[in-house]
Homo-oligomer: A and B are copies of this chain.
Amino acid sequence: MRIGELAARAGTTTRTLRYYESRGLLPARRDAQGHRTYDEGDLRLLAQIRTLRDFGFDLEETRPFVECLRAGHPEGDSCPASLVVYRHKLAELDALIGQLSAVRETVAGQLARAERARDELAAEALVPGGPEPVCELGGRQ
């Protein structure tokens, strides 16, 4: 099959396939017209790449999986190099999730504090004989 058909069947674009080829990830044969030609095996390689990319793997990180498939293994993760990438990605995800969770708690705390401060100002403003508004931009619009 040619590049347009492979792209359509894989749910991606011809530009992406040409890019993968330029990176040496998915080389193509050529027919008499110089057009790129692919087979069903290439579709499997491409599906592997797209799946990993959807999971957030860098393009380079998909390389061991692709080479593993091309070496004849039934799955892209049947090779040790792929497992190394899995473990590395897991560690990366754990670190990232940890950082993001810490940031999330900090932001939540800041939001709660800021809302409390705003409500206290609003309550003071309702007290008869309470303090006058200090600023016309006082966050109580």
CB-based contact A97/B107 at 8 Å: no
CB-based contact A115/B72 at 8 Å: no
A interface majority secondary structure: helix
CB-based contact B103/A93 at 8 Å: yes
Number of copies: 2
Residues of B within 8 A of A96 (CB): 100
Q: Number of contacting residues on A, CB 8 A?
A: 39
Residues of B within 8 A of A68 (CB): 139
A46–chain B nearest beta-carbon distance, Å: 18
CB-based contact A78/B111 at 8 Å: no
In the assembled complex, A118 has its CB within 8 A of some CB on chain B? yes
Residues of B within 8 A of A72 (CB): 135, 137
Residues of B within 8 A of A75 (CB): 114, 117
Q: List the interface of chain A (C-beta within 8 A of B).
A: 55-56, 68, 71-73, 75, 77-80, 82-83, 86-87, 89-90, 93-94, 96-97, 100-101, 103-104, 106-108, 110-111, 114-115, 117-118, 135, 137-139, 141
